[in-house]
Every structure is written in C-alpha cells, then in structure tokens.
C-alpha cells in the first residue's frame, strides 16, 4: 500500500471512531447506565466517559493526520513526511481493533458537515 493510501485509510479509521462516538447520544447512554444496573462504579464511570474519550483521542489523532504538502499530498504533521512510521503504526493498531471506515448516508454527511 502506498504511503498516501495508508495515510487516507488511517484518517478514515480515525474519522470512523469519531462518527461512532458522535452518533451516540450521551443522555441515552446515561439513561441506559442507570437502568441496566449490575455495573460497578469503575465500569459505569468508564462508559459514561467513553464517548468523550473517543472524541478527544480522535480529534488529537486528526491533528497529526491533517498535514498537507505543497502539492496537497497527505503528510504527518508531526514529522512532515508522507511515509510516516507513526501513522502506519496507528493505522495498524486501529485495524487490529477492527476500527473500519464508516459509511455516512447523504443526510448524515450533510448534518456532520454543519457541526
């Protein structure tokens, strides 16, 4: 796979995690936590914070992935090269955890672009 393809695929996986977190309604998550019971405090706290954690981590990774070269090619913002070992490793980690690119329908894509 070319460095550009690795970069784009990694960015799509990060975006996928962000979209999944944005789709989850925090009020409904909290209501579900209150109604399900059986969870200890650490698990409840984790689920309550998971959405924000995913959004924060995805936003942080996005800042690294949004570098652009003089011809519009994708670069790692950290090291400034297109064939970044860190970007490749992040992509491999996301693939290992089966984070796949998500498909948005037109309506959702329009809504997300306004947010």
Cβ-based nearer residue to Zn ion, 84 or 99: 84
> Whole-number minimum distance, CB 38 to Zn ion, in Å?
43
Question: Which residue minimizes CB distance to Zn ion?
Answer: 76
- 103 vs 12, 26, 80, 106, 107, CA distance in Å? 10, 22, 29, 10, 12
Contacts with Zn ion, residue ranges (CB under 5 A):
76, 78-79, 84, 86
> In the complex with Zn ion, which residue's Cβ is closer, 4 or 78?
78
Cβ-based neighbours of 81, under 8 Å, separated by 6 or more: 75
67 sits in which H/E element: strand 67-68
Closer of 8 and 51 to Zn ion (Cβ): 8
């Amino acid at each position: 796979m070319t460095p550009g393809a690795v970069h784009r695929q990694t960015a799509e996986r990060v975006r996928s995690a962000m979209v999944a977190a944005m789709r989850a309604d925090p009020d409904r998550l909290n209501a579900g936590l209150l109604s399900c019971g059986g969870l200890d405090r650490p698990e409840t706290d984790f689920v309550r914070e998971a959405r924000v954690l995913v959004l924060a981590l995805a936003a942080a990774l996005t800042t690294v992935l949004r570098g652009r070269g003089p011809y519009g090619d994708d670069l790692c913002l950290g090291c400034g090269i297109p064939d970044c070992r860190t970007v490749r490793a992040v992509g491999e980690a996301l693939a290992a955890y089966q984070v796949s690119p998500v498909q948005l329908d037109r309506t959702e894509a329009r809504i997300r672009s306004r947010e």
